[in-house]
Amino acid sequence: MNICIIDAKQFITDEKLIEPLYKLGNVSMYDGIPQSLDETIKRAKDADIVLFALMKFTNEIIDNLPNLKILQFIGTGVWNFVDALYAEKKGIKVLNIEGYGNNAVAEFALSCAFSLARKITNADRILKERRWSLDNLEGIEIEGSVFGVVGTGNIGSIVAKKACLLGADVIACDIYESDELKNKYGIKYVSLSEIFEKSDIITIHMKATKETEKIIGKDLLSKMKKSSLFINVARAELVDNESLYDLLKSGQIAGAAIDVYENEPPKDYKLAELENVIATPHIGFYTKKANDNSIRLSVESILNFLDID
């Protein structure tokens, strides 16, 4: 059996985590997203099992890998990276993992909130330019702010709890309301519109589906206060990013932190180039603990599917 870790060698810091794969057969590993279809096929042409983390696994790629039987996503939300129905019609089992980096992403969202609120990246840039100035560096504090959390599932609930413990007035929106967040933390559930009207800081933690595509559109974004901050470390497809760009550029929104993009790497970097935007290359999940968890859970997922102890 041939196994290919097609774009995630850099995630593997402990070889012991993939030892069970060596017992299944030959293992090949590569760093980074393949830059062409030919390169993708070259990496995985003989593979029975492919593990992937960063790339979009298109139908064209699937059509060119005749031996492929198992496609294991080293992450959550595989449907955003592969047409699972198409793959399974071709006899390929698509597997997914959950919960490997919930705290990592939650902490990253809060890191973005702190950085935006205190204009840390702007201040850093000024000093790197050998200038000493406080111009336009006055910030806001998390304590006492209205902190809006859109989506209180596994990650959003952690963000809401931590923001509450920091002294923020946390409001949330979700179809399913958490009794724990309401009763233990005093978090109030409100409408999506109210989140955007009232919040000083808004962070998004929803799944990207056909129903939620661009759910955060111009109408909602335009409701934000000029002093408000917007954070998206979930999925780019949730947001009308053209409208977000326009509102940020015109100063109708004070700032944003963006970690996710409709194309990765992006075809257009204009949002990332704005002075009031913190842009990062999808690193919300990227900690050693979360990476180790993702590899361990992915290997377990394959072994469970193959019914191997």
- What positions carry a catalytic annotation? 235, 264, 282
CA end-to-end distance (rounded Å), the chain: 17
Q: Note whether 196 and 148 are within 8 A (CB).
A: yes
Which amino acid is it at 278?
A: I
Encode 259-278: b = buried (16+ Cβ within 10 Å), e = exposed.
bbbeeeebeeeebeebebbb
Which is it for strands 146-150 and 201-204: parallel, antiparallel or unpaired? parallel
Residue 251, CA distances (Å) to 42, 217, 248 in order: 47, 17, 5
Q: Kindly give, in sequence order, each residue whose CB lies less than 8 Å from that of residue 296, ignoring residues fewer than 6 positions away.
A: 17
Q: Kindly give, in sequence order, each residue whose CB lies less than 8 Å from that of residue 217, ignoring residues fewer than 6 positions away.
A: 240, 243
Q: Kindly give, in sequence order, each residue whose CB lies less than 8 Å from that of residue 13, ignoring residues fewer than 6 positions away.
A: 288, 291, 292
Total Cβ atoms within 10 A of residue 210? 7
Q: How far apart are CA 119 and CA 8, in angstroms?
A: 33
Q: How far apart are CA 103 and CA 137, in angstroms?
A: 29
Q: Which 8-state DSSP code applies to residue 177? A: -
Cis peptide before 265 (omega within 30 of 0): yes
